[in-house]
Amino acid sequence: MSRTFLKMNGLGNDFVVVQTLTQSFDPTPEEIRAIAKRDGGIGCDQVIAIDPPKAEGASAYVRFWNSDGEETGACGNGTRCVAWLLMQSAGKTEVAFDTVAGRLSGVAAGEKLVTVDMGPPRLAWNQIPLAEDMDTARVELQVGPIDAPWVHTPVCVSMGNPHVVFFVDAPVTDEFATKTGSLVEHHPLFPEGVNVGFAYVESRDHIRLKVWERGAGLTAACGTGACAAQVAAVRRGLTDRKAKVEFESGALTIEWRESDGHVIMTGPVSMDFAGKLPEAVAA
């Protein structure tokens, strides 16, 4: 039985989205990798399944996989795409849905513009998680030569998935982010791996960011990475509560709301095309 998918993106961070209302979807890691493969597959950063809801008040239960086949807890740009799809199908301007990382909600903010409540960040060392107890606002980690490290003393944040954010003196190149991010992703300090952000604070309401994503590599944009960078910057006193987080592909507006501690993300979604999954990976 063939299965329709939707190809969507948020700031170039792209997704293959399948809905499971009439047909279950339980792919193996190999099948996820086959879908995500850009040479011979459909090509995407993440695969997303929209399942029927499991709890009252939710419109769906949503699962995310990275391109390496591993299931992940959250995806900010993917969350906006899901929220937009659910609002479109229900004719609503707001929606809530559940994930393994908890309940998320979205509100229409304009033409293909969505605001998502990503919930509160997790800041304790064992919530991220780290391998040992330490101050997550000033982590004892450096990369590069001992006497002249490339980056050091990052902030760690979980937005349903683990992030480490290094503050840099100038925007970094793709080459630097790839070289450094690939080293840090599997560092022993991060037992579940980690997403690696390189944040340049241009002003108190503007961050330039590049992210090496756990299980996906260097991506055009990362929604949870933007949330983590803004939370990290506020924790270090570098930005105000609300800031523009800019990638080369565009910008998100992130607010770490003081009233309830939730992280609010606003950004665009784009529908690219629809297609059919190959029979071998449609089950």
Beta-strand runs (E) in 28-112: 46-51, 61-66, 71-72, 94-99, 102-110
Instruction: Tell me 240's DSSP state.
Output: -
Distance, CA of 144 to CA of 186 (rounded, Å): 15
Among candidate residues 44, 156, 222, 227, the one labeled active-site is 222
Among candidate residues 44, 75, 156, 227, the one labeled active-site is 75
* Residue 259, burial from CB neighbour count under 10 angstroms (0-12, 13-18, 19+): exposed
C-alpha distances out from residue 53 to 56, 58, 80, 193, 235, Å: 8, 6, 17, 29, 35
44 catalytic? Reply is no
> Does residue 154 contact residue 128 with C-beta atoms inside 8 Å?
no
Q: Distance of alpha carbon 193 from its chain centroid, rounded?
A: 14
75 catalytic? Reply is yes
Nearest to 219 by CA among 209, 208, 227: 209
Enumerate the H helices of 163-235 as residue ranges. 174-185, 223-235
Catalytic residue ranges: 75, 222
